[in-house]
Chains A and B, each alone.
Chain A
């Protein structure tokens, strides 16, 4: 079902969005590092690919010309304008510590014993979790289950979609959540990740560990969502501003902190 005023952009957007998110998700090492195409793009490119997906989705929201689509797009863009710099600062912080933006190298470095506990890494992790909540339209920024007019952000943007288009978008949203969780796991909890040259058994162990970590993350997300309420749209900048500041402080504190 398409709105009468929908253009070609409206029809291709679900596929472009899904493809961009899929490529970004495929670049995150989930249970093994040094995979075949991992060098084709790095962490900065992953952030930018998610940006591409959002760019097209926001345009599609404006395409039909209804007020919901427009308000959803403008809110989504406002949230992204704070979330993406916070994410990039987190990337800077991690990349400056690991000496690389290549996720395989980062994961290998983080899994090694030379990292230890660092203040800046802790800040970067909190910043990334906050960004992940905002980018995935979760409580307290947005509620993926709501259709309440004044509170929806992501849902308002895709209100005009139905059928297979909507399916692609929802699939893309699931993938994005999985991407963020995998990213947090890969950068901050890369225990049991298989590095290059390990035996087949270690791959099995890594897959099991990865699935276990995913389950724990989903459980924590569910607990967090039931424990908090959604904040007003006007307070979103405060939430994300905190993430931005944490990212910046993490980057700058890197010079004065060291591993324990």
Chain B
């Protein structure tokens, strides 16, 4: 039986081999199917292995490979935190590959996309597995460059070259910040393995500087305001399944880097670190969604909404830091679990929404929402799953987005226990910002769905749209089902996340699976509880009852008439309807 980390590294090796295969067969017509089929299979295997490692509470396993610097080698390690993020990466990878099987056939220049797609997946996997600073930075750059190549795959289109340039500059800048952060972390002794960094005591000023550098380095990759400028340019420029990976998954790899350094390597946090991360998160959430509200380009709107969600994740992490610094382990575990849950949720629905935008793009050739409209009649399945994604991302019950926001608000409400006045005032204020962001997100997605899919077609392209192929639909329906399942069975997800909280925070949320009707109870039942399953059952029952009774009582069929007729009094209606 090979160790869990070796399993993951074999998968990465297979992905790199797929890259070579893609280069070799790039001129062949079958290469699209071969490459995406291979990445789908490999990602699915890696996902299963990562989930097994996470749920079976496997011990952390390390491995040194004799690649990289001569005589020193590269260290890799798989613990609970890495296993969770590997699951997120490979789930996104599998979904994007499945989508690519259909979407890739419309690609005009497949040889610019196919070699880099497996390489990008391999890079993200390697960042999460890395266990020393050198390997981490190398893999981080590999990931950045592979994604840059994908952003530039349609380099002749207007603005894409600029997007690629801005991305490259920001990525190099971010890596520089990370390099300096790791330099500080390795201390005067200069040992660059993560195991050695954990043993070093840092002075408060050193720790503050490392935090600032991590916020610059990981924050620029994740899209924290004001380092987000590249994100709405670069994410939409890539092919849609790559946009989904960049928005739904790569930003999570940056979140992973932040958690790894700030929660794991840096030692016990100070409460002021929590304040900084909290405020940055809250501001990012509101600014991101305000930009998204002003956007007319569907894919750019989704990219801006990613910024909002990253803000929510960072705000939860800031809360976790604040609680952790004051020794409130249970509340810290609650906030941390909320952050991880939101990471998972966002990878589901953001991938789903980018796939939907890609489906609209293949079907109509348009990204401008003003030129779409009425697609619900011509793309009924796509519009259904896109609606699921919109409801989930708007944090509406009974879908998954609501659960993570709810957990986060519960963590916010634990703030009176905190001793510092700054935090006592700041946490509810940031909670208000997050509430504002959540509502604006709902407004934003009412607009996005309404203008794109409802009403009437506003261009000939939208008039002539048709449904997309079955691979694209399969990928979207799979993610929509996950959004729904995570929304009605959140207790199972929280229990699956508990080894991560245990490893990082040293405490976990109470076991949820034993609660009646699978409800979730973060602290105790008298304080708060939520049951997605029951809410869903009640809504469905209530929907059925009046539906059945009103149809039974009133057998008349609905007639159709021109818009506006319904508002007229009945005696006027007859004149308006052509018989």
Residues in chain A within 8 A of chain B (CB atoms): 1-9, 11-12, 15-16, 18-20, 22-23, 26, 37, 39-42, 44-45, 48-49, 51-52, 54-55, 58-59, 62-66, 68, 70, 73-74, 77-78, 80-81, 84-85, 88-89, 92, 95-96, 99-102, 105, 147, 159-164, 166-168, 247-248, 251-252, 255
**A48 to chain B: which residues have CB within 8 Å?**
395-397, 402, 406
Within the complex, what minimum Cβ distance (angstroms) separates B569 from chain A? 10
Tell me whether B562 and A4 are in contact (CB under 8 A): yes
Distance in angstroms between the alpha carbons of A167 and B406 in the assembled complex: 32
Q: Which residue of chain B has the shortest Cβ distance to A74 in the bound complex?
A: B447
Q: List 19 A-B contacts (CB under 8 A).
A: A3-B566, A5-B456, A7-B377, A9-B376, A15-B546, A16-B539, A19-B543, A37-B534, A39-B529, A48-B397, A52-B391, A65-B374, A65-B563, A70-B455, A92-B409, A105-B527, A161-B566, A163-B554, A248-B429
Q: Which listed segment binds A: B47-55, B437-445, B504-512? A: B437-445
Tell me whether A163 and B443 are in contact (CB under 8 A): no
Distance in angstroms between the alpha carbons of A42 and B440 in the assembled complex: 22
B410, B450, B528, B530: the one within 8 Å of A62 (CB)? B450
Name 5 extra pairs, CB < 8 A, besides A62-B454, A96-B415. Answer: A2-B566, A19-B539, A55-B394, A96-B428, A159-B564
**A15 to chain B: which residues have CB within 8 Å?**
543, 546-547
Q: Is B413 an interface residue (CB 8 A)?
A: yes
Tell me whether A52 and B397 are in contact (CB under 8 A): yes
Residues in chain B within 8 A of chain A (CB atoms): 373-374, 376-377, 380, 387, 391, 394-397, 402, 406, 409-410, 412-413, 415-416, 421, 424-425, 428-429, 431-432, 435-436, 439-440, 442-443, 446-447, 449-451, 454-456, 517, 519, 525-531, 534-535, 538-543, 546-547, 550, 554, 558-567, 573
Within the complex, what minimum Cβ distance (angstroms) separates A69 from chain B? 8
Tell me whether A7 and B566 are in contact (CB under 8 A): no
Known pairs A40-B531, A44-B406, A100-B528; A84 contacts B540 (CB<8 A): no
**B530 to chain A: which residues have CB within 8 Å?**
40-42, 45
The SS class assigned to the A binding surface is helix
Tell me whether A102 and B529 are in contact (CB under 8 A): yes
The 7 A-B residue pairs with the shortest CB-CB distance in the complex, in nearest-first order: A65-B455, A62-B450, A19-B542, A162-B566, A88-B435, A40-B534, A65-B456
Tell me whether B454 and A160 are in contact (CB under 8 A): no
Tell me whether A92 and B428 are in contact (CB under 8 A): yes
Distance in angstroms between the alpha carbons of A77 and B370 in the assembled complex: 19
Tell me whether B396 and A100 are in contact (CB under 8 A): no
**A102 to chain B: which residues have CB within 8 Å?**
525-529
Tell me whether B454 and A7 are in contact (CB under 8 A): yes
Tell me whether B567 and A159 are in contact (CB under 8 A): yes
Tell me whether B554 and A164 are in contact (CB under 8 A): yes
**A11 to chain B: which residues have CB within 8 Å?**
558
Tell me whether B391 and A1 are in contact (CB under 8 A): no
Q: Which residue of chain A has the shortest Cβ distance to B524 in the bound complex?
A: A100
Q: Which residue of chain B has the shortest Cβ distance to A161 in the bound complex?
A: B566
Distance in angstroms between the alpha carbons of A172 and B411 in the assembled complex: 32
Distance in angstroms between the alpha carbons of A48 and B438 in the assembled complex: 10
Which of B442, B449, B563: most chain A Cβ within 10 A?
Answer: B563
Known pairs A42-B530, A96-B416, A101-B528; A2 contacts B558 (CB<8 A): yes
Tell me whether B376 and A248 are in contact (CB under 8 A): no
Distance in angstroms between the alpha carbons of A65 and B415 in the assembled complex: 46
Tell me whether B446 and A255 are in contact (CB under 8 A): no
Known pairs A48-B397, A95-B413; A80 contacts B443 (CB<8 A): yes
**B425 to chain A: which residues have CB within 8 Å?**
252, 255
Tell me whether B376 and A7 are in contact (CB under 8 A): yes
Which of B517, B530, B554: most chain A Cβ within 10 A?
Answer: B530
Within the complex, what minimum Cβ distance (angstroms) separates A77 from chain B? 4
Tell me whether B564 and A58 are in contact (CB under 8 A): no
Tell me whether A45 and B561 are in contact (CB under 8 A): no
Distance in angstroms between the alpha carbons of A120 and B395 in the assembled complex: 28
**A6 to chain B: which residues have CB within 8 Å?**
560
Known pairs A2-B559, A95-B413; A42 contacts B394 (CB<8 A): no
Known pairs A40-B534, A252-B428; A4 contacts B560 (CB<8 A): yes
Tell me whether B454 and A3 are in contact (CB under 8 A): no
B542, B554, B573: the one within 8 Å of A22 (CB)? B542
Q: Which residue of chain A has the shortest Cβ distance to B534 in the bound complex?
A: A40
B413, B542, B546: the one within 8 Å of A96 (CB)? B413
B439, B450, B519, B565: the one within 8 Å of A1 (CB)? B565
Known pairs A4-B560, A159-B567, A163-B558; A81 contacts B440 (CB<8 A): yes
**A64 to chain B: which residues have CB within 8 Å?**
455, 563
Within the complex, what minimum Cβ distance (angstroms) separates A72 from chain B? 12
Distance in angstroms between the alpha carbons of A48 and B397 in the assembled complex: 7
Known pairs A9-B376, A163-B558; A41 contacts B439 (CB<8 A): no
**B567 to chain A: which residues have CB within 8 Å?**
147, 159-160, 162
Within the complex, what minimum Cβ distance (angstroms) separates A60 from chain B? 9
A19, A39, A101, A248: the one within 8 Å of B432 (CB)? A248
**A168 to chain B: which residues have CB within 8 Å?**
546, 550
**A255 to chain B: which residues have CB within 8 Å?**
421, 424-425
B435, B436, B442, B558: the one within 8 Å of A55 (CB)? B442
**B543 to chain A: which residues have CB within 8 Å?**
12, 15-16, 18-19
Known pairs A45-B535, A88-B435, A105-B527; A65 contacts B406 (CB<8 A): no
**A20 to chain B: which residues have CB within 8 Å?**
539
Distance in angstroms between the alpha carbons of A9 and B561 in the assembled complex: 17
Q: Which residue of chain B has the shortest Cβ distance to A167 in the bound complex?
A: B550
Within the complex, what minimum Cβ distance (angstroms) separates B392 from chain A? 11
Distance in angstroms between the alpha carbons of A35 and B395 in the assembled complex: 27
Tell me whether A160 and B446 are in contact (CB under 8 A): no
Tell me whether A1 and B558 are in contact (CB under 8 A): yes
Within the complex, what minimum Cβ distance (angstroms) separates A196 from chain B? 12
Tell me whether B535 and A160 are in contact (CB under 8 A): no
Known pairs A81-B443, A96-B416, A159-B564; A49 contacts B428 (CB<8 A): no
Q: Which residue of chain B has the shortest Cβ distance to A98 in the bound complex?
A: B527
Tell me whether B394 and A65 are in contact (CB under 8 A): no
Known pairs A41-B397, A96-B428; A77 contacts B413 (CB<8 A): no
Distance in angstroms between the alpha carbons of A247 and B435 in the assembled complex: 12
Distance in angstroms between the alpha carbons of A45 and B396 in the assembled complex: 9
Tell me whether A63 and B455 are in contact (CB under 8 A): yes
Within the complex, what minimum Cβ distance (angstroms) separates A143 from chain B? 16
Known pairs A23-B542, A84-B435, A95-B413; A59 contacts B454 (CB<8 A): yes
**B374 to chain A: which residues have CB within 8 Å?**
5, 65
**A37 to chain B: which residues have CB within 8 Å?**
534, 538
Distance in angstroms between the alpha carbons of A77 and B424 in the assembled complex: 31
Distance in angstroms between the alpha carbons of A51 and B405 in the assembled complex: 14
Within the complex, what minimum Cβ distance (angstroms) separates B560 from chain A? 5
**A39 to chain B: which residues have CB within 8 Å?**
519, 525, 529, 531
Known pairs A41-B530, A45-B530, A100-B528; A160 contacts B432 (CB<8 A): no
Distance in angstroms between the alpha carbons of A4 and B560 in the assembled complex: 5
Distance in angstroms between the alpha carbons of A48 and B559 in the assembled complex: 34
**B439 to chain A: which residues have CB within 8 Å?**
51, 80-81, 84-85, 88
